A and B are shown apart, each in its own frame.
Chain A
Amino acid sequence: MTDISQTPDAAPTTKPKGGSLFEKDARTKRRNAAESRFKMYGIAAIGIGLLMLIVLVTNIVTAGTGAFQQSFLELNVELKADKLDKKGNRNIEDIKKVSTFGYAPLIASALESEVEKLGIQTDLKSKAMGKILSKAAQAELRNYVIANPDEIGNTVSFRFLVNSRVDGYMKGRVTRESIANDKSISVEQLDFVDQLRDAGVLYKAFNPDFILGADASDQRPEAAGIGVSMLGSLFMMLVVLALALPIGVAASIYLEEFAPQNRLTDIIEVNISNLAAVPSIVFGILGLAVFINYMHLPTSAPLVGGLVLTLMTLPTIIISTRASLKAVPPSIRDAALGVGASKMQAVFHHVLPLAAPGILTGTIIGLAQALGETAPLLLIGMVGFIASNPPDGIVAGFLSPNSAMPAQIYEWSKRADPAFYERAWGGIIILLIFLVTMNTIAVLLRRRFERRW
């Protein structure tokens, strides 16, 4: 107030009595200062958020893109008929009798002849040279032969996975210094790798098996892929969609449009809201108790995972469905009832179509949430399971043990070999692509079908 009484003295005499509008008084200045301070806080908050996001995304991309590339060694393997098919009648059962050990000598001799052909000088013994290949190499070759029995007797050019240490060396993760205490690879072997790389037979290439393949054991990170657990996630999402959408929508329509307003419905409403906030691991233990211990459904099965995630997703779907039903103006219901529609006709002909985009958005967001959920899967055995083969058939897809994408990522991040660490980040990239796609679909649906009334 003192400021106001002082200003007229300094100002020209023609000044209005209540103070000039051209000069801000002290209160206005304080108010404006507070407002601009608040704007700054807001900008800072958004800035911090964006910065975190950028750090996160760059981190994930730099750490994870390596998983999509893998180092391969290309060799010409002679598939000797006397080793692989002694009877010579190309009977698939006989060919299958040759175990992976039977393929080891073929690969070893292929490597030796390749070294000889390229004129590489090395002191390494044949066995030490073979160590740069993946432990999965023999199995890979065996699978190839079983799939193509006609190739027996021919010499085929085959791309072998190399050991994860060698792959790490190719990607710059492993150096000569870092392997000082590493018994699984030596400096001489790395020199050998350099020679092969310079000769062009050892190279990095896109690895579709990471996206499509199955998980592999601790010893073979280079062979591990996320494909089978992606199928596991897919089957779980099918269960969630098939159960949570109809149950959730039916429950919300009943509660919103038909149920009487009484204490019981109030209690149900409060509990649904509370269920949405229940930690997902609680749903996991519920699933363990009910679906596995009591109903004896198979452990680790996507069916059980889907049931658990359904329980978890239902509150989300019910809440968003009820919100979108509430958002339909009552005048539409009145209009339908006014021309003599029954309540159900009013709901299904008019209210539900208008609420559909909201319901779909809620469902997709619920599904995305379920897709990324790991905790409940811990308890029903979908984590730690090594899915080595894709399920054969739809029924097996639901019932045979499998993992899920987030569970697979968690599993990889636990393992000792740093090569798995890279794969965990790669898995995160794939998972994020799925989530971003689903959320984009949700946003587009909302935009596309949003109606004004």
Chain B
Amino acid sequence: MNDMTRVERTVDSKAIKIAANNVQVFYGDTHAIKDVDVQIEDKTVTAFIGPSGCGKSTFLRCLNRMNDTIDICRVEGDILLDGEDIYDKRVDPVQLRAKVGMVFQKPNPFPKSIYDNVAYGPRIHGLAKNKSELDDIVEKSLRRAAIWDEVKDRLDAPGTGLSGGQQQRLCIARAVATEPEVLLMDEPCSALDPIATAQVEELIDELRSRYSVVIVTHSMQQAARVSQKTAFFHLGNLVEFGETGQIFTNPEDPRTESYITGRIG
């Protein structure tokens, strides 16, 4: 219990970026997410773990309203970004997604040049006044995604021609180019080999200094390596949420323990 109190103190010390209260998600008649309350801190990596189909990706997609594209999906409850309800009628999801960027499971660069991939977001949001500003944004974003040195000589080459790990880092560069405040990552390493995974994980750790990162992962080792906070989902419920170290060493809920030790999931 001593550990817990210390954890709560750390939570208080950092600003809450996203607060989800009582979130319910329905796919038609299926109740996919039940009563989830999560506080995601700024400049922290938060990992969502849990068995397949437990709703962690669904919940992640609620955070930037990507579920809006699914007709039968319905979200209830409040999700507050900096205290503003993102499901409020006045919120335009397009504006929200510029603030809350996303990286997907499968690297999905546009079938365009590397430059255009990164420049697309700034272009549609009007972040650059002229070509040289845009060039700066592209370079800065590619540097942040730790891929600049590998692609600086071939910015005109198609993004789809890169290797899997490079593609995923390109997608991260694309996501950070719009200057988001939160970065959502949906199993960003599941299609990558161990070396590329290591590179992306290192990158996630660096990104923590600027953004609030939320990562969904199947690999518990990955969650343990990159995150400070971990949420364990099971069958649509948020079973446990807390300091990563504590979830993995001393979980409160027996279900968390079973999952972590490999007895379920």
Q: Which A residues form the contact surface with B (CB < 8 A)?
A: 260-261, 329, 331-343, 345, 349-350, 354, 451-453
Query: Are B108 and A331 in contact, CB atoms less than 8 angstroms apart?
Result: yes
Nearest 10 pairs between A and B by C-beta? A340-B98, A331-B108, A339-B121, A338-B102, A340-B97, A335-B108, A342-B94, A451-B111, A261-B71, A453-B111
Known: A340-B125, A340-B178, A349-B120. A335 touches B171 (CB 8 A): yes
| In the complex, number of A-B residue pairs with CB atoms less than 8 Å apart | 68
Return chain A residues, CB-CB under 8 Å to B174: 335, 339
Known: A260-B71, A333-B69, A452-B160. A340 touches B121 (CB 8 A): yes
Docked pose: A337 CA to B94 CA in angstroms: 7
Partner of B64, one of A329, A331, A338: A338
Return chain B residues, CB-CB under 8 Å to A452: 160
A256 → B minimal CB distance (Å): 13
A59 → B minimal CB distance (Å): 46
Taken residue by residue from 78 to 105, chain B's Cβ proximity to chain A (1 for < 8 Å, 0 otherwise) reads as 0000000000000000110110011110
A410 → B minimal CB distance (Å): 46
Query: Are B160 and A453 in contact, CB atoms less than 8 angstroms apart?
Result: yes
Closest to A328 in B: B111
Tell me the B97-156 residues at the A interface (CB within 8 Å): 97-98, 101-104, 106, 108-111, 120-121, 124-125
Query: Are A334 and B108 in contact, CB atoms less than 8 angstroms apart?
Result: yes
Return chain A residues, CB-CB under 8 Å to B177: 339
Return chain A residues, CB-CB under 8 Å to B103: 338
21 A-B interface contacts by CB (under 8 A): A261-B71, A261-B72, A329-B108, A331-B104, A331-B106, A332-B110, A334-B66, A335-B171, A335-B174, A337-B66, A337-B97, A338-B66, A338-B101, A339-B124, A339-B177, A340-B97, A340-B101, A340-B124, A341-B94, A350-B110, A452-B160
Closest to A338 in B: B102
B185 → A minimal CB distance (Å): 11
B149 → A minimal CB distance (Å): 23
Docked pose: A336 CA to B66 CA in angstroms: 11
Return chain B residues, CB-CB under 8 Å to A261: 71-72
Main secondary structure of the interface of A (DSSP, over half): helix
Return chain A residues, CB-CB under 8 Å to B110: 332, 335-336, 350
Docked pose: A345 CA to B121 CA in angstroms: 11
Return chain A residues, CB-CB under 8 Å to B101: 338-340
Query: Are A334 and B124 in contact, CB atoms less than 8 angstroms apart?
Result: no
B142 → A minimal CB distance (Å): 15
Docked pose: A333 CA to B120 CA in angstroms: 13
A352 → B minimal CB distance (Å): 13
Closest to A260 in B: B71
Query: Are B106 and A338 in contact, CB atoms less than 8 angstroms apart?
Result: no
Closest to B109 in A: A335
Q: Which B residues form the contact surface with A (CB < 8 A)?
A: 64, 66, 69, 71-72, 94-95, 97-98, 101-104, 106, 108-111, 120-121, 124-125, 160, 171, 174-175, 177-178
**Given A331-B104, A336-B120, 9 additional A-B pairs, CB 8 A:** A261-B71, A331-B106, A334-B66, A337-B69, A338-B101, A339-B101, A339-B124, A340-B121, A343-B69
Query: Are A334 and B120 in contact, CB atoms less than 8 angstroms apart?
Result: no
Closest to A261 in B: B71
Closest to A259 in B: B71
Docked pose: A332 CA to B159 CA in angstroms: 13
B109 → A minimal CB distance (Å): 7
Query: Are A338 and B97 in contact, CB atoms less than 8 angstroms apart?
Result: yes
Return chain A residues, CB-CB under 8 Å to B95: 340
Return chain B residues, CB-CB under 8 Å to A349: 120, 124
Docked pose: A331 CA to B103 CA in angstroms: 11
Closest to A345 in B: B124
Docked pose: A354 CA to B160 CA in angstroms: 14
Docked pose: A206 CA to B160 CA in angstroms: 54
Return chain B residues, CB-CB under 8 Å to A334: 66, 102, 104, 108
Query: Are A340 and B106 in contact, CB atoms less than 8 angstroms apart?
Result: no
Query: Are A339 and B120 in contact, CB atoms less than 8 angstroms apart?
Result: yes
Return chain B residues, CB-CB under 8 Å to A338: 64, 66, 97, 101-104, 175
Return chain B residues, CB-CB under 8 Å to A260: 71
Docked pose: A439 CA to B102 CA in angstroms: 42
Return chain B residues, CB-CB under 8 Å to A339: 97-98, 101, 120-121, 124, 174-175, 177-178
A260 → B minimal CB distance (Å): 6
B75 → A minimal CB distance (Å): 16
Return chain A residues, CB-CB under 8 Å to B94: 340-342
A330 → B minimal CB distance (Å): 9
Return chain A residues, CB-CB under 8 Å to B121: 339-341
Docked pose: A340 CA to B177 CA in angstroms: 11
Return chain B residues, CB-CB under 8 Å to A333: 69
Closest to A329 in B: B108
Return chain B residues, CB-CB under 8 Å to A342: 94
Return chain A residues, CB-CB under 8 Å to B171: 335
Closest to A331 in B: B108
Docked pose: A261 CA to B73 CA in angstroms: 12
A334 → B minimal CB distance (Å): 6
Docked pose: A336 CA to B110 CA in angstroms: 8
Closest to B177 in A: A339
B166 → A minimal CB distance (Å): 15
